[in-house]
Amino acid sequence: MKIFLKTFCVCLALITLSFGTAQAANFELSGDQLCQIRLNGEIVSGDKAKLEKLVKEAKVRKYFEDDGESTSSWRMCLSSPGGSLSEAAEISEYIFETGIGTVIEKNQKCMSACSWVFMMGFTRGVEEINYTNRRMHFTSTLGFHAPSLNLDGYEILTREEVERALKVMNKAVYRLLKLSNSFELNGEFAVASDLLEEAFKNDGAEQFYLIDSVNKAGRWRIPIFGIEWPSMIDISSGVRACNNLTRWKNSLNDGASIEVDQYPLNQSKSTEYHLDVFGSDSGYFGHRCKLSRKIVKYGDQAYINICGENQSNGSLLGDISCLLEDDFDEQKYHSYPAVSILPASTKLKNIPAELKKIDRRARLEVAALENRRVKTETSCVLGYSHAKIVNVNQFVNIRAGASLADRVVATANRGQRVQVVQPNSWWFKETKRGRQCSEICSRYHQTPTNSTLASQAKQCVDDKEIWTKVRVNGREGYVSVYFLEAQ
């Protein structure tokens, strides 16, 4: 029995097979730190055997170093238009089990069957510490689609040929689905089911689902490299990170909610070092995060430290008990990719330009906060809810009243963060000098541009005549403003 091509293509729209001539992929060893092996060209039958042989050579020649901890430094760069899905499935299984990471370099493309190989980049470590190890340059291209049949030159096929192709298809798809459903260290699937859905929506060899935005890379845990990251973030980027990270736990951050609206910005608070932000889903449900302004760089990747929750979808970041505290406890933060600070709709190629905007806004915000802190300190009051102990060798006494004569109720170590109970308020010693300093501070607070009053106020602070109320380890008391630095 023979089946015409039109019917055959409908039955086998799930597999790419190479029946015609194809240029096999070229594998080569590389001495650079990014990739020890490179794959270039179309993936065809026999390529997995070539890769196995090259990996053995890489181990002998010490390109793949065994540090006794993990295979995190073992990587293969990919540049391929695709090819045989069945061969790509075998290569994917091999690098997944061996622990070889995958990379798409600057301006390179990894399409079709190559995209599945890329997603199976993996690290194997001691004590079952295994995790995905894949990354793409922000200028590279990664494209998925539903497998299709390559039958150039074929008019009709026999029933036996169709059945044989179906078996190859089923085996290849089974392998890829099994790998995709593998768990990594954090309990996530290697490939999320919604990426599989998007990929298989795009039927045909020329219809690709591209990973071309922050939204897609963030949701499907595809690290981006080649970027010069700023040192800190602004408050709107903190809101975006809270939005993106809590939404990406379950799905893409789609629709009008991608951008930050005014409500969470108005509700959020910031210091020079930390942000306390509300997410765009806040309202009936709680959606809030605390995070450090600082961007932490590690190798070619960057991270932010954050904790929070989104009650609308049950997403948690770090230790959410951090939200119950007045201060910022970085020990309760967890690290997440810094790409989350960007607008979700940002195209990967536009990341550098967007980061320049964030850097500029962050610098302006911090400069304004620093100016306000200096002005606040000079005017005898602390306008922040927290301060750090300074100007002491080891510790300072916290007293029951605004005087050195009052009894000690607690101590605070140098560098310790304390809560300011009533920001923008001050106390003074009940002496002639104390009352004089209180009057100076009051007048300067009303006319902060008066340089004479500014100098007199600073002298009062240096003389330890002006005090404020703080909370330390659950106890309240008074300490001279001289020993505090607003935060």
Question: Which tens digits make up the pLDDT trace of 69-81?
Answer: 899 999 999 999 9
- End of a domain among 166, 184, 211? 211
Report pLDDT for 221.
94
- 31 and 161 inside one domain: yes
Range(s) of the domain holding residue 113: 2-211
Residue 220 falls inside a structural domain: no
Residue 420 falls inside a structural domain: yes
- 160 and 196 inside one domain: yes
Report pLDDT for 152.
59
Report pLDDT for 212.
96
- 59 and 204 inside one domain: yes
Q: Number of folded domains in the chain?
A: 3
Report pLDDT for 330.
82
Report pLDDT for 185.
61
Residues 101, 121 contacting (CB under 8 angstroms): yes
Q: Which of 385, 382, 396, 410 is nearest to 475 (CA)?
A: 410
Q: What is the DSSP letter of 343?
A: -
- Give ∠ CA 114-120-125 in degrees, rounded to 5: 145
Give the containing element (helix H, strand E) for 389. strand 386-389
- CATH at residue 116: 3.90.226
Q: Which of 290, 296, 362 is nearest to 327 (CA)?
A: 290
- 390 and 269 inside one domain: no
Residue 454 falls inside a structural domain: yes
pLDDT in tens, 107-149: 999 999 999 999 999 999 887 788 899 999 999 999 998 876 6
HSE (CB half, 13 Å, CA atoms) of 1? 6
- 157 and 26 inside one domain: yes
Other residues' Cβ atoms within 10 Å of the Cβ of residue 156: 11
Report pLDDT for 210.
95
Q: Which of 148, 168, 258 is nearest to 213 (CA)?
A: 258
- 411 strand-pairing partners: 397
Phi, psi of 308 (to 5 degrees): 165, -175
Report pLDDT for 255.
54
Residues 6+ apart with CB under 8 A from 53: none
- 172 and 231 inside one domain: no
d(CA 48, CA 224) in angstroms, rounded, equals: 27
Residue 219 falls inside a structural domain: no
- 365 and 384 inside one domain: no
Residues of the chain with pLDDT under 70: 1-24, 148-155, 184-186, 203-205, 255-263, 371-379, 383
Report pLDDT for 374.
57
Other residues' Cβ atoms within 10 Å of the Cβ of residue 392: 14
Report pLDDT for 256.
47
- 63 and 123 inside one domain: yes
Report pLDDT for 31.
78
Q: What is the DSSP letter of 144?
A: E
- 194 and 242 inside one domain: no
- CATH at residue 413: 2.30.30.40
- 124 and 69 inside one domain: yes
HSE (CB half, 13 Å, CA atoms) of 196? 14
Residue 216 falls inside a structural domain: no
